[in-house]
Amino acid sequence: MLQQQSTPERTELIRLHAATCLSMTQFINGHHCPKLAHFIVRQLSLLVVHPELEHVSSSREMYQQLLEHWQKVTAYLLEQQGARELPSKYH
């Protein structure tokens, strides 16, 4: 069995992946917060451009699709938050 060498870049990739999965799990379990969604977008953005994935197009494509999904989720949450914060106008 071929074992891959542990490098600082690989360790960072594993940490980013784990943190992103944990954040998505928190969100799915009911913490529907725009700030958390934005954090997930930021983490996925880092994963998409991570040097360890330079030659792993399937992983990069998966992270790209997740990034696009979470960008939409974040935009929706911010839109909903903005709609709630608009002051009522009485005429």
Domain ranges of the chain: 19-83
CA distance 66 to 1: 31
Question: Which residues of the chain are modeled with pLDDT < 50?
Answer: 1-3, 91
Interior angle at CA 58, CA 17 and CA 19, nearest 5? 5
Report the pLDDT value the prediction gives residue 6, as an integer from 0 to 100.
83
Report the pLDDT value the prediction gives residue 17, as an integer from 0 to 100.
96
Report the pLDDT value the prediction gives residue 31, as an integer from 0 to 100.
87
Report the pLDDT value the prediction gives residue 1, as an integer from 0 to 100.
35
Contact between 36 and 73 (Cβ < 8 Å): no
